[in-house]
Amino acid sequence: MHPRRRTVKRALRPGLLAALVVLVIGACGGVEKDAKPRPLPEEAKALQPGEYRSEEFEPSLSFRVGEDWKNAPPETSGYLGLQRGALGDVQFLRVEEVYEPTRVGVPNALEAPKDPEDGIALLRHHPYLRTTPPERVEVGGVKGERVDAVVGDLPKGYRGRCGTDCVDTGIVEGIPPMKIPLAIWEGYKVRTIGLEVEGEAVYISISGPDIAFDQLSISK
């Protein structure tokens, strides 16, 4: 899942997301005593390598980035985004609503599941997505479930809220009253990791061009 916007479709360099080397979520991991993670800038800006923390996103998290990363504002209680140029991105999400697919017309918005495994199951059983079998993972000391998804066969005459070559997946909170729509685009692969943190369903979305995605990774 990623915000419903166009991204230049260029091949990813090997190890793109391996530059995101440390992730600590909420109170489950904690930050080392001597570490002083910085807040993200309010405007889109190149990030110096090092450790950063969320300020608006809930539950709080910290992470460390390498070179060539920038933030993708706005950071809100339901969205925190990072990009490496036009090559790929990572989002942390608390999904408010999900879309129920329809064969004709735009999909219907429904309240998002409280359990992240149910959210992963919605992707797995979506009729217009092709997905991998779910895998158990651990990120920042939190156990969860992971699935990869790409756009599958779309019905003739299909048109979603995002257009004709994409699948709407959900909505996260932007700056009120704005909402940020999420979608998966043809030619892209999206890896979604569902975690339960402090009783909240939190998703990590890693997206990039399908042809190079298998070279990507995120550290645990």
**Mean of pLDDT over the chain:** 80
Position 68 scores a pLDDT of: 82
Position 172 scores a pLDDT of: 95
Most confident of 49-58, 126-135, 152-161, 209-218: 126-135
Nearest alpha carbon to residue 145 among 91, 84, 202: 202
Provide mean pLDDT across the span 176-205. 92
Q: Determine contact, residues 120/134, Cβ cutoff 8 Å.
A: yes
Whether the CA torsion 209, 213, 219, 220 is positive or negative: it is: positive
Least confident of 22-36, 51-65, 143-157: 22-36
Number of residues in the chain: 220
Nearest alpha carbon to residue 192 among 181, 203, 180: 203
Position 101 scores a pLDDT of: 82
Classify each residue of 135-173 as buried b or exposed e, where b means 16 or more C-beta atoms within 10 Å of its C-beta: eebebbebebbbbbbbbeebeeebebebeeebbbbbbbb
Owner of token pair 């692969």: 189
117 sits in the region (left: phi over 0; alpha: psi -120 to 50; else beta) called alpha
- The secondary structure of 137-169, three-state, reads EEECCEEEEEEEEEECCCCCCCCCCCCCCEEEE
Position 9 scores a pLDDT of: 27
Distances (CA, A) of 189 to 19, 31, 42, 142, 198: 19, 31, 28, 24, 29
Dump pLDDT digits (tens) for 10-29: 222 223 333 343 454 443 33
166 compared with 20, residue with greater pLDDT: 166
Dump pLDDT digits (tens) for 59-95: 888 888 888 889 999 999 999 999 876 667 889 999 9
Whether the CA torsion 137, 213, 128, 111 is positive or negative: it is: positive
CA of residue 160 relative to chain centroid, distance: 20
CA dihedral 86, 186, 178, 92 (to 10 degrees): -60
- Confidence band for 3, pLDDT divided at 50, 70 and 90: low
